[in-house]
Amino acid sequence: MKPIENYFVPWVKGIPMYVSSHIELAWRQPDLHRMMSNENPWEPSLMVQEAINKYGKLANRYPDQGLVVRSKIADINGVAGPENVMLGNGSSEIFDNIFRCFLQPGEEVIQHTPCFGIYKLRCNILGGKLVSVPMVYKEEQLLFDTNAILAAITDKTKIIVVANPNNPTGNFMAPTDFIRIADKGIPFIIDEAYVEFSGLGKSQVELIKKYKNVLITRTLSKAYGLAGLRFGYALGDKDVIGQISAALFPWNVGTIPMWVALAALEDVEALQKRVNFNNSEVDFIQESLGDVPGLIIFHSHSNYILFDGTDTGKSGDDMVAFALEKGLIFRPQKPMYGRDGWFRLTLGRKEENRMAIDTIREFYTQ
Ligand SMILES: Cc1ncc(COP(=O)(O)O)c(C=O)c1O
């Protein structure tokens, strides 16, 4: 008899379950301040809470295909209709579904690093080969490098994914660069998880009308503040969305998330309040720490801020450990560009942001 290990497909064998240690810690110790996972610090609006209660009572019922919420999404984004919209259990599931439709073992996914970690995980689980193209670190900025992305394309490239704005750098790629990549015809995912913080005017959604290979992904986890709900979506050409939707897990989005998402999309005021708060706090943190000698702050259009404190002579990991002693969970960032001073924080509530400012200043100036 062969041992069970021999039956696993090689690309799954040995991969550990994805566990986010900082999220585990935050749930175990709720007195710690969660400034690490790009969550929204505000609880759901009353309208959303009412929808949670209302549809909680219908949790004995299977969801339908979500035509109502998909139509609402189409409407908000100025695309033809629900046939241009696919729903996911968070946008993470959307990446998974798209990857499964295009990628065979040994084929390549191009990502632009540093970036969100899920692209790599979903690529690995399919036996794909991840090609990481680094951004350029120049004059205290991390810049998109479209030439390098285009140069990384081979005949095995099946997906290119770029987040806009990018996590963790918080900046946008130039609109003309999207066209240069889209013109290649390769499935091109533009991950707009944080775009609502700058408004949909910054979205590249218009590209889907011209390019069948472009897919836009979004989530309600960030500006809408519903990370625990798990709701994301993709926008694309109707034929492409139709084909990818064929690979969806049946009833992947539950009755509660589907209808609560609709309420959240309708509660325009709640979104605006969250966006305004976030953006003024980002500015406040950036201004407050602008005078710390040697600390590089990356101007963010999202709900997190990346720092490089290498020139202070202190490491990012030590910063994160120091913050934890003060009750704040920050996010470490592995050394890159030969520098080890990186860390990131997610915006919290007003008092949390002030604690973070004091903690960072104390760490670098003590
Ligand atoms: C760039 C980016 N895309 C997507 C997501 C995932 O969001 P979701 O909660 O919709 O799976 C994140 C979460 O941190 C992110 O940073």
Candidate from 36, 39, 92 with most ligand 1 atoms within 8 A of CB, to mutate: 92
Do 283 and 190 fall within a single domain? no
Do 242 and 326 fall within a single domain? no
Summary mean pLDDT of the chain: 98
Do 183 and 163 fall within a single domain? yes
pTM for the model: 0.98
The total number of structural domains that make up the chain: 2
Return d(Cα 190, Cα 182) in angstroms, integer: 10
Q: Which two tokens stand for residue 11?
A: 């690309």
Residue pLDDT, tens place only, 293-314? 999 999 999 999 999 999 999 9
Per-residue pLDDT, 336: 98
Return d(Cα 258, Cα 252) in angstroms, integer: 10
Question: What confidence tier does 366 reach under pLDDT thresholds 50, 70, 90?
Answer: confident
Task: Among 251, 267, 283, identify where a domain stops.
Answer: 267
Task: Among 233, 249, 267, identify where a domain stops.
Answer: 267
CATH assignment of the domain containing 189: 3.40.640.10
23 ligand 1 Cβ < 6 A: no
302 ligand 1 Cβ < 6 A: no
3-state helix, strand, coil in the chain (%, to 5): 40, 15, 40
Q: Mean pLDDT, to the nearest integer, of 216-224?
A: 98
Task: Among 267, 288, 309, identify where a domain stops.
Answer: 267
Do 348 and 301 fall within a single domain? yes
Per-residue pLDDT, 265: 98
Q: How many CB atoms lie within 10 A of CB 365?
A: 11
Do 57 and 70 fall within a single domain? yes
Q: Are 327 and 316 in contact (CB under 8 A)?
A: no
346 ligand 1 Cβ < 6 A: no
Do 314 and 171 fall within a single domain? no
Residue pLDDT, tens place only, 153-207? 999 999 999 999 999 999 999 999 999 999 999 999 999 999 999 999 999 999 9
Return d(Cα 161, Cα 172) in angstroms, integer: 14
Kindly report the CA angle at 130 between 13 and 92, in degrees rounded to 5?
80
Which residues have a Cβ under 8 Å from the Cβ of 125 and sit 6 or more positions away? 11, 12, 15
